[in-house]
Structure 1
């Protein structure tokens, strides 16, 4: 990653969905490019987890947007999100992000040897730790079920949990938290994502149904899990596209 990221061009395609007695989809192509300059990148990356830099609001296709840039996001990655600032619920956008160097060109990355892409064992170890509940120090009561977890890990992954737990207590103390606005099955999926960074395997053909993804999207927003929100939104948008295609063919 270069010291400075002069611009992040975002070619946007705005899609507006409308409904009548027969569902249809209308697509408007808006060839727009927006450049967002980020300076002092290294200093921003050292600012700490969840530090965010936002762009001024800008308009594309009559809708207002904003870029949210996280120099040091989850797992040490740099992340960028496109936020919709309006109130309408029938607007979607697709964008392509390009990272440019100081000379306005994409940076070149050269390696003498191929990069090691072997899968990490860490997600599997963390999943086992969640399943076994070993050394857990908090219990969640959700409906009629109990889930044991680890406050330090939850606080590191979610700003909401970090605020809820506050300073770490003395060793040997245990806390019980009652969750009243999330279904047990959804909370279990949420914990699995927090520990492993992925959703648990779904054995149903076609994956999780739309209702599960909608509830998971709400839970992800409640606990400040931006990447999980994005995963849910992309899956729901994909389903809308498939339904629109089926309706058109019919």
Structure 2
């Protein structure tokens, strides 16, 4: 009987399976400042970046200014990638290079992507001869004693094979919860509380607001006097800001402002988010303000960051003012800076401290 006879007729059953390998990828920039002070630290001693997470593991960059060999001088600095929480082997592909500046594309070293399997007993990998000390000194002298070590890391997960149960994929429609809640807000159906803001009325649903804000929960369901009222007066807030706050409560989305005055509206929205304990909105406003920092806005943004405990935003504003391009002089000429000095004169101490460190 020929082989063709074995396959005569119609196939009654067919199965399939799929093997997939997932990965997680991220980059970390480790800025080394005051490099001349690290000269002579000694072989085998290192400075470390903060821990950054990729693929469920913690990672740190270890930089050895005098190399990895103890009690032995070296003409080159070393750099290693360290996994902090290994319980089993993990494959990773990484690139470690020195950049001239954090915001630049100029690479001092040109190492390509290399793969290494980290294990509980071998949790470090890197380059013993990473970059010559003479090259680092030249780079450091040209950049006020600083340079950047950039790590691009991909963690490769274990492959997984699953049986394909359906020959035809069923298309699942996209979620509509956000649109449904937004429609409920606009429609006002079932609303059980009305807010009066600057002469404008806004209808809303107590349960939605209470679920999104601890302050609204206390006002509407707690022991405060508003908990039985169907009408609530909101002072010291513009109607359009309260409207944006309400929309976020229902949709988790900020308004797409691109016109003039965007920064000022975001500043007011941050104040509202802080007032009602909406932490995610507050952080999103911080991020928007970070993108819009310039000579005209930095002073008012710094004052806002100080008043509402936005430490990262405050540090960014001070760094902008401390730029060596004489930006501080231009900032001091703005009305926002005069308002800052009048409202919070102690901030000048932080600004001057930042300038002195550059």
* TM-score, structure 2 as length reference: 0.36
**Is 1:181 matched with 2:198?**
no
Q: Looking at CA atoms only, which structure, 1 or 2, has the larger radius of gyration?
A: 2
1-side partners of 2:201 and 2:177: how far apart? 24
- SS at structure 1 position matched to 2:208: helix
2-side partners of 1:142 and 1:237: how far apart? 28
**Is 1:163 matched with 2:180?**
no
2-side partners of 1:162 and 1:99: how far apart? 41
**Is 1:33 matched with 2:47?**
no
2:252 maps to: 197
What are structure 1's unaligned runs of at least 5 residues? 1-10, 15-29, 37-97
What are structure 2's unaligned runs of at least 5 residues? 1-27, 32-46, 54-82, 91-154, 297-319, 328-358
**Is 1:150 matched with 2:205?**
yes
State the aligned residue count. 156
Higher RCO (C-alpha under 8 Å, 6+ residues apart): 1
Checking the alignment, whether the CA contact within 8 Å between 1:137 and 1:174 is kept in structure 2 is: no
2-side partners of 1:107 and 1:32: how far apart? 22
1:126 maps to: 181
Q: CA deviation at 1:232?
A: 0.6
Checking the alignment, whether the CA contact within 8 Å between 1:139 and 1:146 is kept in structure 2 is: yes
Matches within 5 A, 1:1-250: 32-34=49-51, 103=88, 108=157, 119-166=174-221, 175-202=230-257, 204-205=258-259, 209-240=262-293
Deviations 1:53-85 (A, max 9, x none): xxxxxxxxxxxxxxxxxxxxxxxxxxxxxxxxx
2-side partners of 1:101 and 1:137: how far apart? 53
1-side partners of 2:295 and 2:174: how far apart? 32
2-side partners of 1:99 and 1:128: how far apart? 48
Deviations 1:146-165 (A, max 9, x none): 00000001001111111111
